[in-house]
């Protein structure tokens, strides 16, 4: 290379890489995909246990959903920030410590500000630690991406999980007790005419049936999710 070329290269202005917008098309998909094409419950079939256990009432489902969203979003960011300094051999242990600490904080907040709901949820808040969705997103996404996409991924998957929980809870509480959020929606006249609440709806097997119906409906309108046998 000639001396002139070296000088020109040294003084030439460096072209800055164009930064990706915070809400680029790629980042927006992190929020939208889990709602349909990649839903953690109806597509990945994760987190089914809580869908069976705490969807008898909408209030419980909402609180559990917000708890999981908080743990997953914050946990994703923490794992992403630490991804380059966590030794591969102990990454699972580090992830468990992060999620356990966040769950303890969430549990303490619920006991302080929503004690009645916390009592109803009982051990299920603590069992967020073992929720497959959380560890799955840590491993599959947060460890390989920057904090901002990791945050969006956590929010998207947490919200998608919560959406299914709330939908299942609406069906179970309405048909099982005639109420939503403790408000009676079926008039007394309907009961006097012979209507009875369906007690089957408040049993855990009915949650699985409702989730199955949602999966059937989702695949009927989105052929991409139909698996070839």
CA distances, 171 to each of 8, 67, 177, 182, 200 (Å): 71, 21, 10, 14, 12
Quote the distance between the C-alpha of residue 4 and its chain's center: 58
Between vectors from CA 211 to CA 208 and to CA 215, what angle results, nearest 5°? Answer: 135
pLDDT at 41: 87
The one-character DSSP state at 125 is T
Is residue 12 in a domain? no
Is residue 18 in a domain? no
pLDDT at 38: 85
Is residue 33 in a domain? no
Is residue 13 in a domain? no
pLDDT at 7: 46
Range of the domain at 173: 42-222
pLDDT at 166: 93
- pTM value is 0.83
Indicate the average pLDDT of the chain: 84
Nearest to 128 by CA among 55, 170, 56, 70: 70
Is residue 3 in a domain? no
Report d(CA 103, CA 85) in Å as an integer: 23
Q: How many domains are contained in the chain?
A: 1
Please give the residue that has the higher pLDDT: either 124 or 148: 148
């Amino acid at each position: 290379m000639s001396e002139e070329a070296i000088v020109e290269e040294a003084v030439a202005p460096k072209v800055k890489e164009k930064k990706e917008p915070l809400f680029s098309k790629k980042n927006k998909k992190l929020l939208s995909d889990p709602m349909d094409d990649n839903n953690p419950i109806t597509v990945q079939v994760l987190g089914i246990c809580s869908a069976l256990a705490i969807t008898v009432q909408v209030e419980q489902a909402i609180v559990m959903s917000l708890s999981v969203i908080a743990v997953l979003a914050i946990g994703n960011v923490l794992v992403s920030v630490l991804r380059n300094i966590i030794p591969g051999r102990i990454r699972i242990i580090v992830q468990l410590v992060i999620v356990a600490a966040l769950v303890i904080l969430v549990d303490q907040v619920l006991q302080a500000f929503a004690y009645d709901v916390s009592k109803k949820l009982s051990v299920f808040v603590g069992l967020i630690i073992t929720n497959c969705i959380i560890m799955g997103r840590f491993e599959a996404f947060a460890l390989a991406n920057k904090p901002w996409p990791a945050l969006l991924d956590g929010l998207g998957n947490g919200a998608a999980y919560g959406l299914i929980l709330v939908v299942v809870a609406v069906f179970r509480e309405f048909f099982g007790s005639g109420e939503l959020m403790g408000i009676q929606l079926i008039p007394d006249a309907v009961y006097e005419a012979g209507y009875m609440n369906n007690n089957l709806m408040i049993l855990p097997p009915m949650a699985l049936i409702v989730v199955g119906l949602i999966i059937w409906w989702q695949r009927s309108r989105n052929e991409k999710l139909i698996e070839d046998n």
